[in-house]
Amino acid sequence: MAAERRSPAPLVRPALLRDGALRAGLATSALVSTVMMTTLVVGPFHLSRALGLGPAAVGLAMSAGPAVVALAGVPAGRLADRLGAGHLGVAGLVTMAVGAILVALTPLRLGVAGYVLPVVVLTLGYALFQTANNAGVMAGADADRRGVTSGLLTLSRNLGLVTGASAMGALFALAAGTSTPAGAPPGAVVTGMRTTFAVAAALIAVAILIAAGPALSARATPSPRGSAP
């Protein structure tokens, strides 16, 4: 941003980021993307090492999340129009928090269903939030700034994915007590998974505080259209 302030024709005008609703939308987008990448990084180790699934079964179990996102996109857009982007966004975050807590606390004896069903809840919350957040942020953007705003949303999401893959992956390995999770004993993998998703739930709690703050009060009104995650 320092370079943008010095530029006579900045790509991203610094004044754009003075908008509290935009800042909150970008921050929450980064946080939830971090959590979703955690499911992709930690999930395969838990399914294969702790639950003993083969590669094909792991892939099938992991496909539950993307299937939920694909199916929830259109209904979530309609809910955003009806309930308002702000309300739906907070509801999505709360659903994500519940899913992350369930992943961390569900007993291992429940098997594959004990992992997949909480992840489905988590992913459903993500689909609701992303639809509402995209719709709310874009509805508040001026017509000549929608391209830049969309780019900032994509940037925040990608930063969250990178953080989830690196920081949360490192946290999982640290909690599991190994630098090679692929060869870790099942008990260590379960410990790492529970710790990582407990932190993920805390990140979603932070996102809820941001989204529920007064800076987003204007986004509680229905948006003119939904935006698929």
**pLDDT tens-digit map of 96-111:** 999 999 999 999 999 9
Those residues whose C-beta lies under 8 Å from the C-beta of residue 228, and which sit 6 or more positions away, are 73, 74, 76, 77, 131, 134
Residue at 6 is within a domain? no
Residue at 109 is within a domain? yes
Residue at 5 is within a domain? no
- Per-residue tokens: 136: 């709310």
* Contact status, residue 181 vs residue 49, Cβ threshold 8 Å: yes
CATH of the domain at 171: 1.20.1250.20
Residue at 2 is within a domain? no
* Contact status, residue 219 vs residue 21, Cβ threshold 8 Å: yes
pTM of the full structure: 0.84
* Contact status, residue 130 vs residue 229, Cβ threshold 8 Å: yes
For the chain, report the end-to-end CA distance as a whole number of angstroms: 27
Residue at 4 is within a domain? no
Structural domain total, the chain: 1
Residue at 7 is within a domain? no
pLDDT (tens digit per residue) in 192-214: 999 999 999 999 999 999 988 73
Residue at 227 is within a domain? no
Q: What's the pLDDT at 216?
A: 44
pLDDT (tens digit per residue) in 134-190: 888 888 777 767 788 888 899 999 999 999 999 999 999 999 998 788 788 999 999
Structural domain boundaries, residue 189: 20-220
